[in-house]
């Protein structure tokens, strides 16, 4: 993590159609998104100067906003273009991209029908989500007290800021106990995902992963499922009971920030960093790097 506070970095932030100096991209304290979590966001990564699956992320951003009842006033094409231009302006080749949309500060109260819908994009350098040394050995996860909510209780299919409240609480609690992250169960008590990444297990040469009915179906999750199928590895998407973790041999997380991260430990359960995990880590690295960047290496 950079030692300079995030709001004091240099460069530009794209905000509502303009490239603002980084430190001038501000909102008022009476912003609806801050008080009532009327905010959705994306997390993307650029590799070799290209944002991986950019349009898929932008479409998900639009869809997330729709679920929260608002329309982002920029088309998918306009947002894609803003992300690409900002990446060039920031001068990064490998970077993390964060578009965020929120209801503004025109009206306070639960209802804010006429508030402006704002959109900002920030891009910074974020080499590894987990400690690189830990990542190689497999990270350690605690099991969170909070569960992913029933989709009838919360807009689970939206990448909505409000859904991250229990993720931050859970990750902080895990870190306080010396773990890298926490595994969250779903509202029924089945295995769901980590606080910012999806989860996979390996048993008898096959992948097992929770079906994505109760949480965000990650773009990395779908990419890794495709990569595994290309290798002829069976992928079984199903409800997974926590006690089944006893019989799984390998485990890894997938996410734009986390990429493919091996897991060595979840609560009382232990896993090895095995061949299938290593293969999929390598396949993912090859998949995200544009062909011209690999040719130049
Ligand atoms: C809670 C949660 N689940 C899963 C994911 C993985 O999603 P993706 O692979 O689209 O980044 C993320 C990351 O954005 C996340 O925050």
219 lines ligand 1 (CB under 6 A): yes
Cα separation of 179 and 195, whole Å? Answer: 12
Task: Confirm if 201 and 240 have CB atoms less than 8 A apart.
Answer: yes
What is the reported pLDDT for 1? 47
| Number of CB atoms found within 10 A of residue 232's CB | 7
The pLDDT, as a whole number, for residue 131 is 82
pLDDT in tens, 45-82: 999 999 999 999 999 999 999 999 999 999 999 999 99
Residue nearest atom 8 of ligand 1, based on CA coordinates: 218
Q: What is the token pair recorded at 201? A: 């297990």
Q: What radius of gyration, in Å, describes the C-alpha atoms of the chain?
A: 19
Mark the ranges of the chain whose per-residue pLDDT is less than 50. Answer: 1-2
pTM assigned to the model: 0.95
Question: Hey, where are the domains in the chain?
Answer: 6-124, 132-288
Cα 124-34-197 angle, rounded to 5 deg:
50
> Would you state the pLDDT for residue 293?
62
Distance, CA 178 to ligand 1 centroid (Å)? Answer: 22
> Which position among 159, 171, 206, 278 bears the catalytic label?
159
CB 220 near ligand 1, within 6 Å: yes
Got the DSSP string for 144-175? EEEEEPPTTTS-TTS-BGGGGHHHHHHHHHHH
Fold of the domain spanning 132-288: D-amino Acid Aminotransferase; Chain A, domain 2 (3.20.10)
CB 281 less than 6 A from any atom of ligand 1: no
For the stretch 87-121, pLDDT in tens is: 999 999 999 999 999 999 999 999 999 999 999 99
Please answer whether residues 129 and 257 qualify as being in contact, where contact means their C-beta atoms are separated by less than 8 angstroms.
Answer: yes
Residue 174 pLDDT: 98
Contact 257, 197 (CB under 8 A): yes
Residue 292 has a pLDDT of 63
Give the bridge partners for 266, in sequence order: 141, 269
Distance 296 CA to ligand 1 centre (A): 30
CA of residue 181 to ligand 1 center, whole Å: 14
Contact 89, 12 (CB under 8 A): yes
159 is a catalytic site residue: yes
Give residue 294's pLDDT. 56
The reply to whether domains 6-124 and 132-288 share a CATH topology is no
Do β-strands 206-209 and 235-237 pair in parallel, antiparallel, or remain unpaired? parallel
Q: Which CATH number does 6-124 carry?
A: 3.30.470.10
């Amino acid at each position: 993590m950079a030692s300079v506070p995030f709001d004091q970095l240099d460069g530009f932030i794209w905000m509502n159609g303009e490239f603002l100096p980084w430190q001038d991209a501000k909102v008022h304290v009476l912003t609806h998104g801050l008080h009532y979590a009327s905010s959705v966001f994306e997390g993307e990564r650029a590799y070799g100067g290209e944002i991986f699956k950019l349009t898929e992320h932008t479409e998900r951003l639009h869809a997330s906003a729709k679920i929260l009842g608002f329309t982002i006033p920029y088309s998918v094409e306009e947002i894609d273009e803003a992300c690409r231009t900002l990446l060039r302006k920031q001068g990064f080749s490998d970077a993390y991209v964060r578009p965020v949309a929120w209801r503004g500060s025109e009206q306070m109260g639960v209802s804010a029908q006429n508030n402006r819908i704002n959109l900002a994009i920030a891009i910074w350098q974020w080499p590894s989500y987990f400690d690189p040394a830990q990542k190689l050995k497999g990270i350690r996860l605690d099991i969170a007290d909070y569960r992913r909510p029933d989709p009838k209780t919360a807009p689970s299919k939206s990448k909505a800021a409000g859904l991250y409240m229990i993720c931050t609480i859970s990750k902080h609690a895990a870190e306080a106990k010396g773990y890298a992250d926490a595994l969250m169960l779903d509202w029924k008590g089945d295995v769901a995902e980590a606080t910012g990444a999806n989860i996979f297990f390996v048993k008898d040469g096959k992948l097992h992963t929770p079906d994505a009915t109760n949480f965000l179906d990650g773009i990395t999750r779908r990419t890794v499922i495709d990569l595994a199928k290309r290798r002829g590895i069976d992928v079984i998407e199903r409800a997974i009971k926590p006690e089944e973790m006893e019989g799984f041999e390998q485990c890894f997380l997938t996410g734009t920030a986390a990429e493919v991260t091996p897991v060595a430990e979840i609560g009382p359960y232990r896993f090895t960093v095995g061949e299938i995990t290593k293969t999929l880590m390598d396949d993912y690295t090859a998949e995200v790097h544009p062909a011209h960047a690999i040719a130049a290496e």
